[in-house]
Amino acid sequence: MVHLPPPSLESIEELLQSRPSEKAHSLLDPSGIGFFIRAAHESGFVVPFDWMTEYPAGPPSHPHDLASLSLEQLHQLLIAHIRNDRFSEGHLTKMYRSGDLDRLLDSLQARALGTG
């Protein structure tokens, strides 16, 4: 497992505030996936990480046991999904529609706040 610097609470808050919603009309809409990806990068949440080595088969699309993951593992997993969207267009949109992105963000928030 590669060790990453922990995400700042500010970067997590920015990421959560840019969470996609059903009302998005385009990728650049403030409630859309494109805005979420941009906020993840601009906030400093996304850091250099060789996610393809960590997840050679790609990041798991339906992570089942999020409660058992540490903040660092959730950070790595979310970075991998964000980066994967660049190579597999629509990946994050599919995760959003299935509810997996919200579950991942909820787990990240709980772990960051020490409530999960």
CA atoms of 96 and 19, how far apart (whole Å): 10
Q: Is residue 52 part of a domain?
A: yes
DSSP the chain: ----PPPPHHHHHHHHHT---TT--STTSTTSHHHHHHHHHHTT------HHHH-TT---SS---GGGS-HHHHHHHHHHHHHHHHHSTTHHHHHHHHTHHHHHHHHHHHHHHT--
5 token code pair:
């610097």
Higher pLDDT, 108 or 62: 108
87 token code pair:
């190579």
Per-residue pLDDT tens digits for 18-55: 988 766 555 555 568 888 999 999 999 999 989 888 88
The number of folded domains in the chain is 1
CA atoms of 82 and 105, how far apart (whole Å): 12
Q: Is residue 3 part of a domain?
A: no
pLDDT at 58 over 60: yes
Instruction: Residue 22: give the domain boundaries.
Output: 9-113
pLDDT at 9 over 70: yes
Per-residue pLDDT tens digits for 70-110: 999 999 999 999 999 988 888 898 898 888 999 999 999 99
Q: Is residue 38 part of a domain?
A: yes
